[in-house]
Amino acid sequence: MSERGLLIVFSGPSGVGKGTVRSKIFEDKTNKFEYSVSMTTRKQRPGEVDGKDYYFRTREEFEEMIRQGQMLEYAEYVGNYYGTPLTYVNQTLDQGRDVFLEIEVQGALQVKEKVPDGVFVFLTPPDLVELRDRLVGRGTESVDVIDSRIAKAKEEIRLMSEYDYAVVNDEVALAAERVKRIIEAEHYRVDRVIGRYRHMID
């Protein structure tokens, strides 16, 4: 009997650096888990590749996916949909391979309802000062917008308790390494591996 893969859900407040840490994790080509590409209705930017950065779909197509129950999770953000198509995730897990999702907190909680035995990893800033510095450093947003994002981040950090693990993003390489250790350790959890050893006790 082949074991089902692990669903790894990597999330955290907006601005914490999820994408950067995820890129660092996937620099390691020996990883045994696969990245699930998100679907979005936002416009494709120059350089972005459909099916690699995102699946770019129209609003109508996305809403049809939702209606047919084909989204594992989705959320609307600044007028666009973002979400995870269910089929790829299920097929990969069924083949015994792990799937790595990098998604927003709102979506992660939806996944937790549907897949409670997933591994939920929360990326947290060391503190809010650091988060603010990061948002200011991007230089793309006004003070008002940054204030509202900090307020939203506080709400999201409150949801940390819904997760299995919390990893601090003090340094990208360290944070990436921690996430990889967590994924490895989760493969040794008794409830996941006990089937391998049943032949000794039956």
Quickly list DSSP for 150-180: HHHHHHHHHGGGGSSEEEE-SSHHHHHHHHH
Provide the minimum distance between the beta carbon of 96 and its own copies in the complex, in angstroms, as a whole number. 17
Q: Is 107 annotated as a binding residue?
A: no
Tell whether residue 32 is a contact of its own copies (CB under 8 A). Answer: no
Tell whether residue 11 is a contact of its own copies (CB under 8 A). Answer: no
Tell whether residue 10 is a contact of its own copies (CB under 8 A). Answer: no
Nearer to its own copies by C-beta: 60 or 202? 202
**Would you give the DSSP letter of residue 16?**
S
129 exposure class (CB count in 10 Å sphere: 0-12, 13-18, 19+):
exposed
Tell whether residue 190 is a contact of its own copies (CB under 8 A). Answer: yes
Tell whether residue 52 is a contact of its own copies (CB under 8 A). Answer: no
* Separation of alpha carbons 179 and 43, rounded Å: 31
* Separation of alpha carbons 124 and 139, rounded Å: 21
Beta pairing class for 39-40 and 98-102: unpaired
Q: Considering only residues 32, 59, 114, 181, which one is a binding residue for its own copies as defined by CB under 8 A?
A: 181
Tell whether residue 174 is a contact of its own copies (CB under 8 A). Answer: no
Tell whether residue 200 is a contact of its own copies (CB under 8 A). Answer: yes
CB 152 within 8 A of CB 40: no
* Separation of alpha carbons 141 and 200, rounded Å: 61
Q: What phi, psi does 2 have (nearest 5°)?
A: -85, 145
CB 107 within 8 A of CB 75: yes
Site for its own copies in 100-159 (CB under 8 A): 121-122, 124-125, 127-128, 154, 157-158
* Separation of alpha carbons 91 and 101, rounded Å: 14
Q: Is 14 annotated as a binding residue?
A: yes
Tell whether residue 24 is a contact of its own copies (CB under 8 A). Answer: no
Q: Considering only residues 28, 48, 133, 164, which one is a binding residue for its own copies as defined by CB under 8 A?
A: 164
Tell whether residue 188 is a contact of its own copies (CB under 8 A). Answer: yes
Which range of residues in 25-33, 47-55, 71-79, 166-174 is near its own copies by CB under 8 A?
Answer: 166-174
Q: Is 23 annotated as a binding residue?
A: no
CB 40 within 8 A of CB 54: yes
Count interface residues toward its own copies (CB under 8 A): 34
Tell whether residue 3 is a contact of its own copies (CB under 8 A). Answer: no
As annotated, the binding site for ATP includes 12-19
